[in-house]
Amino acid sequence: MTGFEPWRTAMERALYGPGGFYRREVPSHHFATSAQTPAFAESIARLAEEVDGRLGRPESFAVVDVGAGGGDLLAHLAGLLDERVRLVAVELRPRPRGLPERVEWREDPPESVEGLLIACELLDNVPCEAAVVDGSGRVRYEEVDREGRTRPGGAVADEDAKWLAEWWPIRRPGERAEIGRPRDAAWRDLAGRLARGTVLAVDYGHRRGDRPGGGTISAFKDGRRTDPVPDGSCDITAHVAVDAVGADHVATQRASLLALGASAAHPPMALAYEDPTAYAVALARSGAVARLMDPEGLGAHWWMRTDR
Ligand SMILES: C[S@@+](CC[C@H](N)C(=O)[O-])C[C@H]1O[C@@H](n2cnc3c(N)ncnc32)[C@H](O)[C@@H]1O
């Protein structure tokens, strides 16, 4: 036993194994996401209403949040969507205290969903392999030990080599990539559960033509970026090859929120004189929407979406 293992095995153990990061930790204690904010929930409520209307407002309409974290998105939606709409969290962690009673909490996604199936920053946490080109030009899996040291491992298997050739070719010694197959499979699993409605994954990622040269495996802990050490102490994540996933539509979060009518416009100054409290609330809200649409930040995240 050398202590080195392929990244996918290491991520699986460090994030989801006994004592793994996500078995213990609430995401919002370590990093900020769109789904934690009320402003994001407002746009998702608008999307849910659109989908609900398209489906003819069925009794069984549900919003299912897979990888719900602390349940923030559904807690906010509970105040925005009418009681007919089922709100279902799918999460490995136990149900947090204080969540509105109408939010259901379960470990596995329902077999069949009529409504909106959403997964925010889930795919980037689906464990995947990293590949690296060695000195003689062979593409090999990268292995990592529990201190984060890496080394080239065995030659990549045919299926992974095929995926790399199609989506993220690497040829020159030292080039590195992440193999997105498990993320593509996770998307297919989600989409396969949608009977009617919309499936939406929101995540950071890249498309062919703008793949990051050295790969993206990184780690977060206590609100800071840290070294990706797969010992269960930190979140380990890799950006998603969003075009490979197989969604029908891929667009930036900024474009998607604008299409749903979100606006970061400042409230009129006159409101500050008429109703200073309302002005302060509106100003905070427009600031929150601006952060969600920031092209250098959350606005550059990707919405992967299929309607059915
Ligand atoms: C990065 S957090 C995102 C949380 C939340 N969606 C957000 O955007 O703030 C990813 C979450 O997905 C959960 N998760 C990962 N794999 C899962 C699975 N197969 N089923 C349910 N939850 C999962 C983790 O436990 C973690 O809470």
pLDDT band at 79 (very low <50, low <70, confident <90, very high): very high
Does residue 33 surpass a pLDDT of 60? yes
Mean pLDDT, range 122-134, rounded to an integer: 98
Report if residue 285 sits inside a domain: no
Domain of 97: which CATH number? 3.40.50.12710
In a domain, 175, yes or no: no
pLDDT tens-digit profile of 227-240? 999 999 999 999 99
Q: What would the two tokens of residue 84 be? A: 């007919």
- Judge whether residue 138 has pLDDT over 60: yes
Give a yes or no: residue 51 inside a domain: yes
CB of 69 shorter than 6 A to ligand 1: yes
Asked, for residue 132, whether it belongs to a domain, the answer is no
Which tokens belong to 170? 């690497």
Cβ of residue 35 lying under 6 Å from some atom of ligand 1: yes
Mean pLDDT of 6-29: 95
Span from the CA of 146 to the centroid of ligand 1 (angstroms): 23
What's the 277 CA to ligand 1 centre distance in angstroms?
36
Is any ligand 1 atom within 6 A of the Cβ of residue 27? yes
pLDDT at residue 255, rounded to an integer:
98
- What total of structural domains would you count in the chain? 1
Domain that holds residue 196: 19-125+180-209+220-258+297-307
pLDDT-derived band at 91, boundaries 50, 70, 90: very high
Tens of pLDDT, residue by residue over 214-228, are: 999 999 999 999 999
Distance in Å, CA 90 to ligand 1 centroid: 8
Q: Please, are residues 305 and 248 in contact by the beta-carbon 8 Å criterion?
A: yes
CA 279 to chain centre: 33
Residue 213 is predicted with a pLDDT of 85
Q: Would the CB of 36 count as within 6 Å of ligand 1?
A: yes
Tally of CA atoms within 13 A in the half-sphere of 93 that contains its CB: 18
Domain annotation covers residue 291: no
What is the per-residue pLDDT for 2? 67
Type of residue at 193: R
Percent residues over pLDDT 70 in the chain? 99
In this prediction, residues 2-15 reach a mean pLDDT of 95
**Cβ atoms of residues 134 and 152 within 8 Å:** yes
pLDDT mean across residues, the chain: 97
What is the spatial distance between Cα 75 and Cα 45, in angstroms, rounded to a whole number? 12
* Mutation test residue for ligand 1: of 31, 125, 204, 235, the one with most atoms within 8 Å of CB: 125
Radius of gyration of the chain (CA): 21
Whether pLDDT at 56 is above 80: yes
Q: Would you say the CB of residue 91 lies under 6 angstroms from ligand 1? A: yes
Ligand 1 centroid from CA 91, angstroms: 6
Q: 280 in a domain, yes or no?
A: no
**pLDDT, tens digit, 9 for 90 and up, residues 149-161:** 999 999 999 999 9
Does 159 reside within a domain? no
pLDDT tens figures, 159-215: 999 999 999 999 999 999 999 999 999 999 999 999 999 999 999 999 999 999 899
Find where tokens 């009529």 sit. 114
Q: Give the pLDDT score at 14.
A: 97
The answer to whether the CB of 183 is under 6 A from ligand 1 is no
To test the pocket of ligand 1, the residue of 12, 13, 22, 105 to mutate (highest count of ligand atoms within 8 Å of its CB) is 22
**Atom nearest to 126 CA in ligand 1:** 16
Decide if 292 is inside a domain: no
Q: Are 41 and 68 in contact (CB under 8 A)?
A: no
